[in-house]
Amino acid sequence: MRVSVIGCGHLGAPHAAAMAELGHEVIGVELNPETCKILQTGRGAFHEKGLDELLDKHVHTGRLRFTTDLHEAAATADLHFIGVGTPLRSDGRGYDVGQVVGAVRSLAPLLTRPATIVGKSTVTVGTVARLQEIIREHAGSEGVDLVWNPEFLREGHAVEDSLYPDRIVAGLASPEAENAIREVYAPILARGDAELIVTDPATAEVLKSAANAYLSTKISYINAMAEVCEITGADVATVAHGIGIDPRIGHGGMRPGIGYGGGCLPKDVAAFTHRVGEIGATGAAALLNAVEHINHARLDAARDLVETAHGRPLDTATIAVLGASFKAGTSDVRNSPALRLAGLLHSSAARTIIHDPESVPAARRLHPEYTYADNIGTALRDADVVVLATEWPQYTRDADLPTAAARAVRRKVLVDVRTAVDIDAWAAAGWTVHQLGRPAQQSTA
Ligand SMILES: NC(=O)c1ccc[n+]([C@@H]2O[C@H](COP(=O)([O-])OP(=O)(O)OC[C@H]3O[C@@H](n4cnc5c(N)ncnc54)[C@H](O)[C@@H]3O)[C@@H](O)[C@H]2O)c1
């Protein structure tokens, strides 16, 4: 099929590459000329595991190209994915859907033959109905269908999740639209490992918001239990393991830490919380308000843990922060709890130096006032406390790191706010290890 992907950011670029890999002829439309220029060279404008390889492959086979020109996409493609951003409004009261409305409003009059518009961006319930109106009013042809096809990819696994999704949700209203969805995803559906859920647009909208809200609730739940463990002296890691054995609960999302972040969960929970409150779903609003409250509070708990670990006021400490991106596998620093914690420490400690294998350029653009190290050795040198803030494998799986790091620092004190390291290996190399919701592990060296 000839498809376009409008908006080639964290969702759109992997999706465009995946559509080319599935055999479609793809044209990616990206408004930002700098981003577009990078994509045209067959690279991503940010780090995402496996993305550069897939972009490079298909930009050079000619099956995938990028442009800033929407006319070219309208003229070429029969199906148009919309992957533009839906940031939180500046007052926090729901999404700013300007990019989505703008993209559909610009595209509709250019469509002079039947086509399918497939929205992948996350929107509040009611947005699809509004877009349908715009299409009815402005489309340049009869037979322009709108489908809402929310995306569930995980950053850090975006390519894999785009190629091998666990579900495809399609909110639609006509047999033609369903045929188009079945055709564009045919290679995935033929494998039989992804469920296709065909539903109405409102259900698709709510389904996506409900999924992100549930994930955030699970994360906040175990983080709330970490708070209980801190007060009672219990060990939250054992609690998480023990409760997760029950298949009704499960272990996914059960690792205690500094809370959720990134370009999706914080804004999606905030927008959904506002919306459910607005429509009078008071129970849902109360639950989600608590989820958000817990998430914010864990950052302060992490800062306090660093101070406890240091044993003195933080303004006497040199702190190495390992990790700035919101999770491992991506350079995305949007709403990153790691970078926020680094910010709290930056404003309290004598010296805070941040290392990240991929996201230092993005972090530096956002916070030029912080100090960054290009290599881990520089970050660790003379540190009084090392804070593991993002669970990159370089930090958590390198068996030599505890010993190598021990030689660089002033004091062997590790605060692992992701509950990610092999605590015994670090203790055996002489470190005292602190994790949220767990008793400190003293050095066993
Ligand atoms: N990032 C994720 O992991 C993820 C996962 C699921 C859903 N989503 C949803 O997908 C949407 C996009 O998120 P993202 O993280 O990719 O955002 P992003 O900011 O990384 O990307 C959006 C891109 O769209 C471009 N754009 C805006 N208007 C445009 C237009 N009219 N024409 C062409 N390009 C335009 C922007 O320049 C930007 O590059 C959001 O609604 C988000 O909630 C994201």
Tell me 314's DSSP state: G
Q: Are 290 and 148 in a shared domain? A: no
Per-residue pLDDT, averaged over 68-89, amounts to 97
Distance, in Å, from the CA atom of 286 to the CA atom of 290, rounded to the nearest integer, reads 6
Residue 174 maps to a domain: yes
Residue 442 maps to a domain: no
% the chain with pLDDT above 70 = 100
In this structure, the residue with its CA closest to atom 39 of ligand 1 is 9
pLDDT grade for 125, boundaries at 50, 70 and 90: confident
Q: Are 84 and 157 in a shared domain? A: yes
127 alpha carbon to ligand 1 midpoint, in Å? 16
Structure token digits, residue 351: 């010296």
Q: Are 72 and 167 in a shared domain? A: yes
Q: Are 309 and 355 in a shared domain? A: yes
Give helix then strand counts, H and E, for the chain: 19, 14
% the chain with pLDDT above 90 = 99
Amino acid 350: pLDDT: 85
Q: Are 236 and 344 in a shared domain? A: no
The phi, psi pair for 194, rounded to 5°, reads -125, 130
287 alpha carbon to ligand 1 midpoint, in Å? 28
Residues 321 and 389: beta-carbon distance below 8 Å = yes
pLDDT grade for 237, boundaries at 50, 70 and 90: very high
Compute CA distances 142 → 146, 177, 182, whole Å. Answer: 12, 13, 21
Q: Residue 208 pLDDT more than 90? A: yes
Among residues 294, 324, 339, the one where a domain terminates is 294
Average of per-residue pLDDT values in the chain: 97
Amino acid 390: pLDDT: 98
CATH of the domain at 427: 3.40.50.720
| Assessment of whether the complete model's pTM goes beyond 0.85 | yes
pLDDT grade for 82, boundaries at 50, 70 and 90: very high
Tell me 328's DSSP state: T
Q: Looking at the CA of residue 122, tell me the nearest atom of ligand 1.
A: 41
141 alpha carbon to ligand 1 midpoint, in Å? 27
Q: Looking at the CA of residue 150, tell me the nearest atom of ligand 1.
A: 7
Q: Hey, which residues are catalytic here?
A: 264
Distance, in Å, from the CA atom of 173 to the CA atom of 171, rounded to the nearest integer, reads 7
Q: Are 131 and 182 in a shared domain? A: yes
Amino acid 338: pLDDT: 98
Among residues 151, 174, 199, the one where a domain terminates is 199
Region at 229 (left for phi over 0; alpha for psi -120 to 50; beta for the rest): alpha
Q: Are 8 and 87 in a shared domain? A: yes
Amino acid 93: pLDDT: 86
In this structure, the residue with its CA closest to atom 32 of ligand 1 is 31
- Look up residue 133 and give its amino acid: E
Residue 444 maps to a domain: no
Q: Are 75 and 150 in a shared domain? A: yes
Q: Are 66 and 176 in a shared domain? A: yes
6 alpha carbon to ligand 1 midpoint, in Å? 9
Q: Which residues contact 294 (CB under 8 A, 6 or more apart)?
A: 220, 223, 224, 227, 259
Q: How many domains is the chain partitioned into structurally?
A: 3
Q: Residue 308 pLDDT more than 90? A: yes
Amino acid 421: pLDDT: 97
Residues 364 and 372: beta-carbon distance below 8 Å = yes
Per-residue pLDDT, averaged over 171-181, amounts to 97
> Residues 250-281: pLDDT tens digits?
999 999 999 999 999 999 999 999 999 999 99
CATH of the domain at 266: 1.10.1040.10
Among residues 266, 294, 322, the one where a domain terminates is 294
Q: Are 172 and 237 in a shared domain? A: no
Give the chain's end-to-end CA distance (angstroms, integer). Answer: 62
Tell me 369's DSSP state: T
Per-residue pLDDT, averaged over 342-368, amounts to 96
Q: Are 317 and 334 in a shared domain? A: yes
In this structure, the residue with its CA closest to atom 18 of ligand 1 is 9
3-state SS assignment for residue 122: coil
Residue 318 maps to a domain: yes
Amino acid 92: pLDDT: 86
99 alpha carbon to ligand 1 midpoint, in Å? 9
Q: Are 69 and 6 in a shared domain? A: yes
Residue 443 maps to a domain: no
Structure token digits, residue 92: 């926090």
Q: Looking at the CA of residue 158, tell me the nearest atom of ligand 1.
A: 3
Distance, in Å, from the CA atom of 48 to the CA atom of 396, rounded to the nearest integer, reads 19
- Look up residue 346 and give its amino acid: H
Pocket of ligand 1 (CB under 6 A): 6-12, 29-32, 35, 83-86, 99, 102-103, 121-122, 151, 153, 155, 263-264
* Residues of the domain holding 411: 297-435
Structure token digits, residue 129: 């109905």
Q: Mutual orientation of helices 201-232 and 265-278 as an angle, nearest 10°?
A: 110
Tell me 351's DSSP state: E
Q: Residue 325 pLDDT more than 90? A: yes
Residue 252 maps to a domain: yes
Residue 440 maps to a domain: no
Amino acid 273: pLDDT: 96
Distance, in Å, from the CA atom of 12 to the CA atom of 184, rounded to the nearest integer, reads 15
Handedness of CA 88, 93, 99, 103 (dihedral sign): positive
